[in-house]
Amino acid sequence: MTLPVAVIGAGPYGLSTAAHLRARGIGTRVFGSPMVSWRENMPAGMILKSTPSASSIDAPQPGHTLLDFCRETGERRFESDWDTIPVETFSRYGLWFQERLVPELEQVRVVSVDRRAADFELKLDSGEQFTARAVVIASGLSGLAQLPPELAAAVPDGPSAVGPVSHSSQHRDLAPFAGREVVVVGAGQSALETAVLLADAGAASVRVVARRKGAVRFGAAPDGQSRLKPDTPFGRAWSLYAFSYHADGFRHLPAPARRFLVGRVLGPLGAWWLRDRFIGRVHVSEGTRIGSARVEQGRPVLDLIGPDGASAGELAADHVIAATGYRVDLAAMDFLGHGLRTRLAVGAGGPRLGPGYRASVPGLFFTGLPAAASYGPVMRFVCGTEYASPRLARAVAAGHARWCRTRLSPGSAPPGALWVVARRGGGLLLPGARRGVWACPVVPDPSEPGFGTAGCLVGGCAPWRRAFVARGKAWGRPCAPLRRASVPAACRRVSDPRRNGD
């Protein structure tokens, strides 16, 4: 049987999307390791740069914010913009969210996705193979860590936490760097915080190397922001307001502008609270780029180039950490089948997405970081789930409803189904159905008298929506159970409700 939707990814975006799809009653399987980027690819002791109000994973129903998690589990409450959130707390919050809203998560890897006729064929590393009508890719940062080519050339076997050169995502524990000289490449929050955590871990010396002069900067504290500008999850700014609340408009900008804005807006800048921990403990080489790198007797040596293009000398250390971020690269998403990848329209450094986060291949959706090229820089952050997940779920549901409408037939109702007629807006209805009255099968639930599970039809639409079926009402709407025999031939729109007992 073909599954309606498969979601690849169990980070904030995958979990949030799955929760929204589940709330719409659309049969969904979700794959991935929950919150793995936060649990394994960020250093212990890291503090989130985002404020508590910008650090909730969007859910379809209330009660699942970071603050709700703190209240319920007795964790310290993170409420004001002055509160800073440890990565460990945020990971626990994500796992709590998953257990409550996406309990059916399957912790397996999707090894391939490819087009098969109008559907998608997915293979799991468990060996299972199945087809899905829609696929949501929320694979986040996985596989997208970026290493400057000069550094990559020095380590032909690739970066490694125990070799001379690594990427910041390869470190969970920085304690092994006690007593060692470390160079951190980059000027973003990740680079500056890694440098501070290395100093905390007792590194003999820590130096940050940044390409641009003046690149090492820190943001303003919450009370240092202009009250005349609108508030956003990222602080007060007009541009951030547009990016946060009108992300759909971003798609219509020319590709070069989108590429520029994704790289620049909310770009490299240390958090306000990091400044005091950084200054005086970390050396800085600004305005110098790496011309080339080599490894001599196990130690990395960097040839630096100054702003004028002349040599700025050599820099040797025990280890170099490239905190140079992540870049969307469809080729690095190794699970995307070749056939699918070549059919995807791309632009501004990511898949080109239309309304509802739809890719150019029908039924394929991207969210999170790969969606930033179309929906803007907010998609790089957890708070972007608030904009993305409901819209993406709505678009999937509309496609699902279209599919169901073309396949409705009373013969495919399960044994024991009651037929009810529901109006659009009554809750119990075909998701996406046009205005009018529709026939819908409901399976009474023996474990909960008075309730049943309703769906647009079986044949792949399970799990169905919960429905109130007692006394012929569906979610409070007058709605008479029909005998199967009285269901309109093809379950199409019923023109006269009274004829059908409504």
Ligand X SMILES: Cc1cc2nc3c(=O)[nH]c(=O)nc-3n(C[C@H](O)[C@H](O)[C@H](O)COP(=O)(O)OP(=O)(O)OC[C@H]3O[C@@H](n4cnc5c(N)ncnc54)[C@H](O)[C@@H]3O)c2cc1C
Q: Which residues here bind ligand X, judged by CB under 6 A?
A: 8-14, 31-33, 36-37, 42, 48-50, 109-110, 138-142, 190, 335, 368-369, 380-383
CB of 107 to ligand X, least distance (A): 8
CB of 329 to ligand X, least distance (A): 13
Residue placing its CB nearer to ligand X in the complex, 8 or 487:
8
Using CB atoms within 10 Å of the CB of residue 341, give its burial: 0 to 12 exposed, 13 to 18 middle, 19+ buried: middle
Q: Are 337 and 114 in contact (CB under 8 A)?
A: yes
CB of 146 to ligand X, least distance (A): 11
Residue placing its CB nearer to ligand X in the complex, 332 or 361:
332
Whole-angstrom distance, CA of residue 347 vs CA of residue 350:
6
Q: Are 4 and 132 in contact (CB under 8 A)?
A: yes
Nearest Cα neighbor of 208 from 233, 232, 235, 189 is: 189
Total residues found in the chain within this entry: 502
CB of 339 to ligand X, least distance (A): 17
Give the containing element (helix H, strand E) for 208: strand 205-210
Q: Which residue is nearest to ligand X (CB)?
A: 140
Whole-angstrom distance, CA of residue 104 vs CA of residue 99:
8
In the chain, how long is the greatest CA-to-CA distance?
87
CB of 137 to ligand X, least distance (A): 9
CB of 23 to ligand X, least distance (A): 18
First to last CA, the chain: 33
Residue placing its CB nearer to ligand X in the complex, 72 or 125:
125
Helices within 271-420 (DSSP H only) = 275-278, 338-343, 372-375, 385-407
Whole-angstrom distance, CA of residue 177 vs CA of residue 163:
12
Residue placing its CB nearer to ligand X in the complex, 198 or 469:
198
Pairing relation of β-strands 346-347 and 364-366? unpaired
Residue placing its CB nearer to ligand X in the complex, 46 or 487:
46
- For the record, the structure tokens of 8 come out as 């690849």
Residue placing its CB nearer to ligand X in the complex, 191 or 413:
191
Residue placing its CB nearer to ligand X in the complex, 123 or 407:
123
CB of 16 to ligand X, least distance (A): 8
